[in-house]
Amino acid sequence: MNISPLQIERLKYAPKLPGMLRNGISEISVKEGEATTSAADQEKIQELFPNTYGKKEITFEKGANTSAAKKQVVGVILSGGQAPGGHNVVCGLYDALKATDSENVLLGFKGGPSGLLEDNYIEFTDDFIDQYRNTGGFDIIGSGRTKLETEEQFAIASEVCKKHGVTAIVIIGGDDSNTNAGVLAEYMAAHNTGVQVIGCPKTIDGDLKNEDIECSFGFDTATKTYSELIGNIQRDANSAKKYWHFIKVMGRSASHVALECALETQPSICLISEEVAAKKMSLSQIANYIADSVTARAKNGNNFGVVVIPEGVVEFVPEFSALIAEINELLAGSKADEFNALESWADKYAFIEKGLTAESMAVFATLPQAVQQQLFLERDPHGNVQVSLIESEKLFASLVADVLKERKAAGEYNGKFATLTHFFGYEGRCAFPSNFDADYCYSLGYNAFMLIQYGYNGYLSKISNLSAPADEWVAGGMPITKMMNMERRHGEDKPVIKKALVELDGAPFKYFEAHRAEWAVETCFTYPGAIQYYGPTEVCDLTTRTLALEKGLMK
Amino acid sequence: MNISPLQIERLKYAPKLPGMLRNGISEISVKEGEATTSAADQEKIQELFPNTYGKKEITFEKGANTSAAKKQVVGVILSGGQAPGGHNVVCGLYDALKATDSENVLLGFKGGPSGLLEDNYIEFTDDFIDQYRNTGGFDIIGSGRTKLETEEQFAIASEVCKKHGVTAIVIIGGDDSNTNAGVLAEYMAAHNTGVQVIGCPKTIDGDLKNEDIECSFGFDTATKTYSELIGNIQRDANSAKKYWHFIKVMGRSASHVALECALETQPSICLISEEVAAKKMSLSQIANYIADSVTARAKNGNNFGVVVIPEGVVEFVPEFSALIAEINELLAGSKADEFNALESWADKYAFIEKGLTAESMAVFATLPQAVQQQLFLERDPHGNVQVSLIESEKLFASLVADVLKERKAAGEYNGKFATLTHFFGYEGRCAFPSNFDADYCYSLGYNAFMLIQYGYNGYLSKISNLSAPADEWVAGGMPITKMMNMERRHGEDKPVIKKALVELDGAPFKYFEAHRAEWAVETCFTYPGAIQYYGPTEVCDLTTRTLALEKGLMK
């Protein structure tokens, strides 16, 4: 027995398509819109993408299918971190492809983009793909983090495509992967390979978002999963009334995940990295901000609470970034050997004290010893501090404890402060997709094939009006170059899709800002519970608070 | 907006009662069974419980209610750690009490047993209780860990009961709390207070279980929540194919939770503390056992897997227990000051080396430094090592890495071993109760009132035949003394309810044992997904594997 009861039931779920894609392949026509320009740096982007720049946005409509009949051999790639619904993108793509012509072929390149370069693939069949419908994970063909970005790689990719008669590649990935999809599309066009490239917007982090892409897939399911857990812990905190829980959530640099979870659960405190950066907050300011909530709640007899921390926050604290940069410098090259030769922590500490500026040493001195040691002992192959490994949930718990000790000594605080820490990330990336993500992903894949069939190249599969029922969703495509601008990356100017951070003047943050003072003092916890796939629509078709606020559906 | 959509819907759920309790209060009659004896040490238990020993088991049936009319004022207490469904016990109790006589009163003592001693209570009303139906947590009145066990406490409790005219106390708790309920019942009878005491079996740990109690409430929901998360992580492991996840799950000494999660998710490895104890396994043996799976999977190209670890496992490793005992001895009294005065870890290490036996020092030396330091630096108010704080998930990840290094040097292993660690506990204790726990708990509470109304004292509310649909459940009561035996606790012989550990010849372990060799090498992961409250009965009314196996419903 290897399949759970839920999986058995979910295999039967029929994902919902946007209305205009529901009439059968022969009844899907294209409406072309305006020619597009890139988000910024138009001249430069146009120069870099002469073959794929300035294309028109398109929308699908009900109407006679005018695409040319052509046998399609499509290759699909899952790129980067897992996000719930990836399997459904593949299923939607497969179903549209087979509905158009049963002779069409879908190849899955295994283990991410490297599968294309290594010519490592499987050919999908009904029996195989049917095991994966509406399931989580990327295990159908695996994923990987190899970046497709060099001319050499493109040449290999092109050869592999030629070998199998591949007519189109669908890349399912985040901002970087879709940037690379855009560059690959340009290459394929420039070299007259006849291979089209289509991207699909994936990431639980929610940072692939703009005026065209309302949200990336996986964000809905992942945030609902983390919110389930945060809510459960809040119930526990409110029952036992003796712990402050510090909970870090995934999301890389952006705080979309933390913010959405906060909107769903109403914790005592939620840090937002973008605000920390904008206000140039120090560790001490953040610790004091949290301690203010602890102090106020203790006055009401509530020695418990919940703090939500976005994964990337420490990198947004200017003094901490400066410290990291100094440490990287301090241990560069042979200096690391000198440091490593020192035996005791006291000797190492003296070495550090001598090497850091007074400002950075002051910051370093406030850190708990475990974090101090981690900064020096765990470094990546290039010798750099691994910021993502820093247990910032423990760091802030410790810094707040220090602040409270001072306040207690000063007679300003008289509570108890016991902490527990958590990190939620892997728990949500491979959950069974919510109905929303199951439908959205299936539609993205189905729609990607329609873009292929109509001959588009360098487009992102686009489904919009997502806060409405699926029937009212709008399917179409957008040139990837439209999302691009030039950015400095690793010392070079590169054309990239702009990463979307939390906007401090956006509706989701504004809502949070308007309520957080109350949440910090009163117990306003909300308990979302587990994702439901069946039952009342209010429960199982619930849109994210982020999207609801952005669309003005929630005040 | 403080109530989630799921909570709004769950408030409407009508929990299912056993068939014989569905006919209305006036149609519930009692059938008395045989007189009982205690589980062991009959003479001693009878001597200690002259007024409550040897009572008859009872079962409720459809028939004319023959209980005497009497105004009831019942006090209810939530004791110990949270378990999903506690609110429903209170709701069932309240509904039966009010259905019997609208003048009846339910008092909730706040913050656990201390609420009774401190006369800190609320009186339940319809409006208040209706907010908590089918919700998780114990926040309705809070919980606490004060033990009701001394004559002095009983005398106070008795006074508080007299003051409010309390006719019965319902204690919702685990094995210790129900032991205390039994002792309190005896006190109340011996002192002719007229106060009845009824217990209800609560604990997510699953260790309050015997021939009468098929399972404690909360176990179903908590294990389903942990299994959701373990399954999600397994999907992630199987997608990324680059991490071994070490996952510790709550459950105190017993491994019922870990075992149930393993049966639901089929991880590569699951440790069972009771087996570790029975086989007197060393840390090194355990590390090698896990490393065997890592090695075999690496040979198949699978450098990923999942290891489930029960919370209490290190205490079951004989050499580790011996080490802890020596450390406690080494730091007893003033010796702790001597140790604390040493500044560097090297000096402390020398002190330790001098103080431990060679055997324990050999064990100590194999531990990662973080665990070594934790053993010496974090001690409870009595100076003892806090075993529950030991991050055994990190400990085993580190020990396995050491073994693999040796194997690599010996040419026996050639894989990659990157680890991630997790601890799941607080996430599951306050989840919305599954339909099973919602029904079971409501029935336990409803039934507890029927025991009160029929004048029973020192009984446990008992619902059985739990793997069948609720309609076929059997409601009744069992004298608490029937579960008791004498045990040595803190240097004294005490009458206690026997804690149920995992039985190595029981069906759940036997099933696990028969399959684990395959799970350790092949990828047999099962993905249960989130608890469903709606939808197909196969999904939302799924009994635990443990119970299904114990009942012979699964082979």
pLDDT tens per residue across span A488-497: 887 889 999 9
List beta partners, residue A57.
Answer: none
Find, among B177, B106, B91, B170, the residue nearest to B439 by Cα.
B91
Tokens in use for B467? 């793997």
Q: Which of A6, A245, A539 sits opposite B529 (nearest CB)?
A: A6
pLDDT attached to residue B472:
97
What stretch of H or E contains B495? Answer: strand B492-497
Closest residue in chain A to residue B4, using alpha carbons only: A528
CA distance B453 to chain A (A): 30
CA distance A117 to A106: 17
pLDDT tens per residue across span B266-317: 999 999 999 999 999 999 999 999 999 999 999 999 999 999 999 999 999 9
Q: Which amino acid is at B335?
A: K
Cα Rg, chain B, nearest whole Å: 25
DSSP string, B108-166: EETTSTHHHHTT-EEE--HHHHHTTTT--SSTTT--B-----SHHHHHHHHHHHHHHT-
- CA A246 centroid distance within chain: 21
With tokens 């699951």, the residue in question is B270
Which segments of A210-355 are extended strands (E)?
Answer: 244-249, 269-270, 305-310
A37 three-class SS: coil
Q: Which amino acid is at B464?
A: S
Residues of chain A with pLDDT under 70: 1
CA distance A272 to chain B (A): 21
The answer to whether A527 contacts B7, with C-beta atoms less than 8 Å apart, is: yes
Dihedrals φ, ψ of A127, to 5°? Answer: -60, -40
Find, among A340, A91, A99, A46, the residue nearest to A200 by Cα.
A91
Per the CB < 8 A criterion, the answer to whether B251 and B309 are in contact is no
Alpha helix segments (H runs only) across A302-379: 318-330, 335-341, 345-355, 358-366, 369-377
Q: Output DSSP code: residue A484.
A: E
In terms of Cβ atoms closer than 10 Å to its own Cβ (0-12, 13-18, 19+), residue B147 is middle
pLDDT attached to residue A384:
78
- Chain A residues with CB under 8 Å of B343 CB are 346
pLDDT attached to residue B343:
81
A333 three-class SS: coil
Q: Which of A6, A345, A542 sits opposite B528 (nearest CB)?
A: A6
With tokens 């000198």, the residue in question is A338
B395 three-class SS: helix
Q: Which of A81, A233, A529 sits opposite B4 (nearest CB)?
A: A529
Q: Output DSSP code: residue B552.
A: T
Tokens in use for B178? 């129900």
- Chain B residues with CB under 8 Å of A422 CB are 426-427
Size of interface A-B (CB pairs under 8 A): 211
Residues 6+ apart with CB under 8 A from A273: A253, A254, A255, A258, A310, A312, A313, A315, A316, A501, A502
Helix axes B219-240 and B435-453, enclosed angle (nearest 10): 170
CA distance A83 to A100: 28
Q: Which of B1, B2, B4 to mutate to test the interface with A (most CBs of A within 10 A)?
A: B4
Q: Output DSSP code: residue A542.
A: P
Tokens in use for B144? 């606490």
CA distance A412 to A396: 20
Q: B553 — contact with chain A (CB < 8 Å)? A: no
Per the CB < 8 A criterion, the answer to whether B487 and B44 are in contact is no
Distances (CA, A) of A153 to A157, A158, A161, B537: 6, 8, 12, 51
pLDDT attached to residue A345:
84
Distances (CA, A) of A286 to A10, A390, A400: 44, 16, 9
pLDDT attached to residue B345:
84
Which segments of A36-104 are extended strands (E)?
Answer: 56-62, 73-78
- B439 flagged as catalytic: no
B534 three-class SS: coil
The answer to whether B430 contacts A236, with C-beta atoms less than 8 Å apart, is: yes
The answer to whether B532 contacts A529, with C-beta atoms less than 8 Å apart, is: no
Q: Which amino acid is at B543?
A: T
Q: Which of residues 7-66 of B touch A (CB under 8 A)?
A: 7-10
CA distance A274 to B501: 50
Q: Which of residues 71-90 of B touch A (CB under 8 A)?
A: 81-82
Cα Rg, chain A, nearest whole Å: 25
> How many DSSP H helices and E strands does chain A contain?
22, 15
- Chain A residues with CB under 8 Å of B5 CB are 528, 536, 538-539, 542
The secondary structure of B402-439, three-state, reads HHHHHHHHCCCCCCCCCEEEEEECHHHHCCCCCHHHHH
Per the CB < 8 A criterion, the answer to whether B201 and B213 are in contact is yes
Q: Output DSSP code: residue A528.
A: -
The answer to whether A235 contacts B428, with C-beta atoms less than 8 Å apart, is: no
Per the CB < 8 A criterion, the answer to whether B420 and B246 are in contact is yes
Mean pLDDT split into 10-residue runs, chain B, 555 residues: 91 97 95 96 97 97 94 97 98 98 98 97 98 97 93 97 98 96 98 98 96 96 98 97 97 95 98 98 97 98 98 94 91 84 87 94 92 82 78 96 98 97 97 98 98 98 97 97 92 92 97 98 98 96 97 90
CA distance A464 to A461: 10
Q: Output DSSP code: residue B100.
A: H
Per the CB < 8 A criterion, the answer to whether A259 and A502 are in contact is yes
Helix axes A358-366 and A318-330, enclosed angle (nearest 10): 110
pLDDT attached to residue B1:
53
CA distance B248 to B311: 6
Q: Which of residues 260-279 of B touch A (CB under 8 A)?
A: 264, 266
CA distance B465 to A329: 68
Distances (CA, A) of A251 to A256, A374, B21, B427: 7, 22, 50, 20
pLDDT attached to residue A1:
53
- Chain A residues with CB under 8 Å of B6 CB are 527-530, 532, 539
Q: Which of residues 116-145 of A touch B (CB under 8 A)?
A: 135-139, 142-143
Distances (CA, A) of A552 to A74, A255, A508, B139: 39, 20, 10, 34
A373 three-class SS: helix
Q: Find the distance separating the first CA and the last CA of chain A, reported in whole Å.
A: 47
- CA B522 centroid distance within chain: 31
List beta partners, residue B462.
Answer: B476
Closest residue in chain A to residue B425, using alpha carbons only: A233
Q: B114 — contact with chain A (CB < 8 Å)? A: no
Residues 6+ apart with CB under 8 A from B525: A2, B231, B234, B235, B237, B238, B265, B266, B267, B306
This model's pTM is above 0.95: yes
Longest CA–CA separation in chain B, Å = 80
A308 three-class SS: strand
